[in-house]
C-alpha cells in the first residue's frame, strides 16, 4: 500500500485537521477535499461537490480512481454515503447508515443503552406532546428535553421550571421548531458533573480510545451565552483519570461496540463518546458517529501513529494489529468565530493568518530566554473561509479558525494558543478567553 489517493468529505476545521494528519503519512500521495474551503486548499485539492451530493461523490471517486474515502460529517454518514461508496467498490472510513443511527436518532441510542445496561441518564421517548407534558408533571426540575434527530447540536434544552419545560415541548412537538427532528422528543434526567469527550477508533472488533478532550460549548467566557458547535478544546481532559478510563472501557466502550454488533449494526470508524462524570460514575450524554469538532483539532495533533494506516485498519478489521499511540503532551484549540455567532453574523470579512513555522521559531526563542519550555507544534485549522480573488482569505462561516498549539503541559499549550490567536488579524471575529481554564483548575 503506497501512493494512495484519498478523498475527504467535509469542509470544516475537523476536516482540515484530518487532512493535515493524513498528509503526514508516507503512504499518501494525493488528497482531495469535497468541498473543502479556502483555507483547506493549502493542504488538499478542493473540489466543489457538496457533502450530500452522493452520486457526484461516487462519480468523482471513480473518475479519479480514489483509493480511500474519509466521510467526516454526520449528515452524509446518516444519509448512507459510506453504503453508496462501498457498493461502488470504495473503501471508506466511517460507519454505514445503519450504524450512523447511533448519532442520528437519540431515541435509538437511548434505547440501545437501556437494552444493554450502558450507563446513561434515565429517560422516556414521546411522540405526542400531551403524553410528554403529563410525564413532565411527574419529574423533578431541571429536566433535559432533546429533539430526536440531528439539529446541529442545538436541539437540546435544559428547562429549569415545569412551565418552561412544557413550553419547550409544545414548541418542539407542535410548533415545528426543529422540523421533523423535533416531532419525537427524548425527555431525560438532568445529570451533573464535568463533561469529557472521548473519540475512539473501532473496526467493530476492538475499540481504541483516543486521548480524552474537553469541549467548551457556550459562546462566551464563564460558560455564558448560547450553545454553539464548540468554542475551543483542550486535551487531555484532567477529569478523565485512569480509574475513570478503566470504568468507561468496561461499562461503556466495549459494551457499546458489542451492542451494535448484536443489533446487526457493526460500527466502523470513529465513535465519539460524550460522557459526564457524575457522582454515580461516568454516564453517556451522547454518541456521535464521527470525529468531534473541535475535539479533532486537539486530539489529532497528539497522535504519533499514522492516521491513514489506522483509518484503513478500521475498514479492514485489522485495528488490533495497528499501532495507535498518542504523545504525553497537551494541546489547546481556541476557536476564532465571527461576531454574532451562533446567531446572525456577517460573511466575507477579511482576515490575515500568521505563518505558524515562524511563530514556533519566535515563540521558542522567547521561551528559551524566559525559561519556559518550548512548544512542539502550532496549527491554524480553517473552518469557514473562502479565497478572495487576490488570494487573501475571507471569513465564510460562524466558526472560522481553530488555533491550536501543542506543548509539554496544558498551561503552556493554553498560553501558546492564545499568543498565536493574538497574531491573527480578524477584526470581525471574537474568541473565548478562558479555554482550558476549568481544566487547569482541576489540575491545581
Ligand atoms: P447532546 O447534544 O445530547 O450532547 O447535549 C448537548 C449538551 O447538553 C451536553 O454537552 C450537555 O452539556 C448538556 N446535556 C445533555 N444531556 C444532559 C443531561 N441529561 N444532563 C445534563 N446536561 C445535559
Ligand atoms: N464538539 C461536539 C461535536 O462535534 O458534536
Q: Which of 189, 208, 231 is the last residue of a domain?
A: 189
Tens of pLDDT, residues 37-55:
999 999 999 999 999 999 9
Q: How confident is the model at residue 405 (pLDDT cuts 50, 70, 90)?
A: very high
- Ligand number, closest to the Cα atom of 333: 2
- The residue whose C-alpha atom lies closest to atom 5 belonging to ligand 1 is 156
Write out the residue range of the structural domain in which residue 74 sits.
4-96
- Ligand number, closest to the Cα atom of 229: 2
Tens of pLDDT, residues 212-223:
999 999 999 999
CATH for 33: 3.40.50.20
3-state secondary structure of 64: coil
Q: Are residues 402 and 344 in the same domain?
A: yes
> Please, are residues 38 and 394 in contact by the beta-carbon 8 Å criterion?
yes
> Please, are residues 335 and 380 in contact by the beta-carbon 8 Å criterion?
no
Q: Are residues 90 and 151 in the same domain?
A: no
Tens of pLDDT, residues 368-388:
999 888 999 999 999 999 999
β-pair partners for 73 = none
Q: At what angle do helices 410-421 and 356-370 cross, to 10 degrees?
A: 130
Mean of pLDDT values over 421-443: 97
Q: Are residues 347 and 424 in the same domain?
A: yes
Residue 121 Cβ inside 6 Å of ligand 1? The answer reads yes
Q: Are residues 317 and 345 in the same domain?
A: no
- The residue whose C-alpha atom lies closest to atom 5 belonging to ligand 2 is 292
β-pair partners for 278 = 281
**Cβ contacts of residue 87 below 8 Å, gap of 6+?**
none
Ligand 2 atom closest to Cα of 215? 1
Q: Is the pTM of this model over 0.85?
A: yes
Asked if residue 115 is part of any domain, the answer here is: no
Q: Are residues 317 and 223 in the same domain?
A: yes
Tens of pLDDT, residues 97-152:
999 999 999 889 999 999 999 999 999 999 999 999 999 999 999 999 988 876 65
What pLDDT is recorded for position 301?
A: 98
CATH for 149: 3.30.1490.20
Percent of the chain with pLDDT over 90: 91
Q: Which of 285, 300, 321 is the last residue of a domain?
A: 321
Mean of pLDDT values over 431-439: 98
Ligand 2 atom closest to Cα of 291? 4
Mean of pLDDT values over 392-402: 97
Asked if residue 105 is part of any domain, the answer here is: no
Mean of pLDDT values over 404-415: 97
Q: Are residues 315 and 407 in the same domain?
A: no
Q: How confident is the model at residue 155 (pLDDT cuts 50, 70, 90)?
A: confident
pLDDT > 80? residue 443: yes
Which of 125, 144, 145, 279 is the best mutation target for the ligand 1 pocket, counting ligand atoms within 8 Å of the beta carbon and taking the most?
A: 144
β-pair partners for 144 = 158, 188
CATH for 338: 3.90.600.10
Number of separate domains in the chain: 4
- Burial letters 345-382, b for 16+ CB under 10 A, else e: beeebebebbebeebbeebbeebeeeebebbbbbbbbb
What pLDDT is recorded for position 178?
A: 66
Residue 151 Cβ inside 6 Å of ligand 2? The answer reads no
d(CA 297, CA 291): 10
Q: Are residues 160 and 46 in the same domain?
A: no
Pairing type for strands 207-209 and 224-227 reads: unpaired
CATH for 284: 3.30.470.20
Provide the grid cell at 359.
Answer: 511563530
What pLDDT is recorded for position 260?
A: 98
Q: At what angle do helices 254-262 and 106-115 cross, to 10 degrees?
A: 100
Q: How confident is the model at residue 159 (pLDDT cuts 50, 70, 90)?
A: very high
CA of 53 to the centre of ligand 1 (A): 31
- Ligand number, closest to the Cα atom of 155: 1
Residue 277 Cβ inside 6 Å of ligand 1? The answer reads no
Residue 228 Cβ inside 6 Å of ligand 2? The answer reads no
Amino acid at each position: 500500500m503506497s501512493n494512495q489517493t484519498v478523498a475527504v468529505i467535509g469542509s470544516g476545521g475537523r476536516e482540515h485537521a484530518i487532512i493535515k494528519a493524513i498528509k503526514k503519512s508516507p503512504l499518501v500521495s494525493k488528497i482531495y477535499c469535497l468541498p473543502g474551503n479556502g483555507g483547506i486548499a493549502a493542504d488538499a485539492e478542493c473540489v466543489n461537490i457538496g457533502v450530500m451530493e452522493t452520486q457526484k461523490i461516487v462519480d468523482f471517486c471513480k473518475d479519479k480512481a480514489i483509493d480511500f474515502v474519509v466521510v467526516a460529517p454526520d449528515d452524509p454518514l446518516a444519509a448512507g454515503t459510506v453504503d453508496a461508496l462501498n457498493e461502488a467498490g470504495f473503501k471508506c472510513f466511517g460507519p454505514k447508515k445503519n450504524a450512523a443511527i447511533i448519532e442520528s436518532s437519540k431515541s435509538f441510542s437511548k434505547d440501545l443503552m437501556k437494552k444493554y445496561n450502558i450507563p446513561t441518564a434515565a429517560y422516556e421517548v414521546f411522540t405526542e406532546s400531551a403524553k410528554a407534558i403529563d410525564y413532565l408533571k411527574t419529574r423533578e426540575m431541571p429536566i433535559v428535553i432533546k429533539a430526536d434527530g440531528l439539529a446541529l447540536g442545538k436541539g437540546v434544552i435544559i428547562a429549569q421550571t415545569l412551565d418552561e419545560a412544557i413550553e419547550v415541548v409544545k414548541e418542539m412537538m407542535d410548533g415545528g421548531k426543529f422540523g421533523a427532528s423535533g416531532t419525537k422528543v427524548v425527555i431525560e434526567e438532568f445529570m451533573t458533573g464535568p463533561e469529557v469527550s472521548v473519540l475512539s477508533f473501532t473496526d467493530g472488533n476492538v475499540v481504541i480510545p483516543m486521548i480524552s478532550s474537553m469541549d467548551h460549548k457556550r459562546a462566551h467566557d464563564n460558560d455564558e451565552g448560547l450553545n454553539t458547535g464548540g468554542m475551543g478544546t483542550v486535551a487531555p481532559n484532567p477529569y478523565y483519570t485512569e480509574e475513570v478510563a478503566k470504568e468507561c472501557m468496561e461499562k461503556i466502550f466495549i459494551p457499546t461496540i458489542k451492542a451494535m454488533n448484536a443489533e446487526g449494526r457493526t460500527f466502523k470508524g470513529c465513535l465519539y463518546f460524550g460522557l459526564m462524570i457524575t457522582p454515580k460514575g461516568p454516564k453517556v450524554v451522547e454518541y456521535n458517529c464521527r470525529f468531534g469538532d473541535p475535539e479533532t483539532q486537539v486530539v489529532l495533533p497528539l497522535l504519533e501513529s499514522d492516521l491513514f494506516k489506522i483509518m484503513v485498519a478500521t475498514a479492514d478489521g485489522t485495528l488490533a494489529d495497528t499501532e495507535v499511540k498518542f504523545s504525553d503532551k497537551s494541546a489547546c484549540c481556541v476557536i476564532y468565530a465571527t461576531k454574532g455567532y451562533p446567531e446572525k453574523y456577517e460573511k466575507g470579512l477579511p482576515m490575515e493568518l500568521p505563518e505558524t513555522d515562524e511563530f514556533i521559531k519566535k515563540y521558542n526563542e522567547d521561551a528559551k530566554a524566559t525559561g519556559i519550555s518550548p512548544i512542539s507544534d502550532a496549527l491554524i485549522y480553517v473552518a469557514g473561509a473562502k479565497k478572495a480573488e487576490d488570494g487573501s482569505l475571507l471569513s465564510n462561516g460562524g466558526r472560522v479558525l481553530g488555533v491550536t498549539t501543542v506543548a509539554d503541559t496544558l498551561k503552556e499549550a493554553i498560553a501558546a494558543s492564545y499568543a498565536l490567536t493574538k497574531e491573527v488579524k480578524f477584526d470581525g471575529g471574537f474568541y473565548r478567553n478562558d479555554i482550558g481554564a476549568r481544566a487547569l483548575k482541576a489540575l491545581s
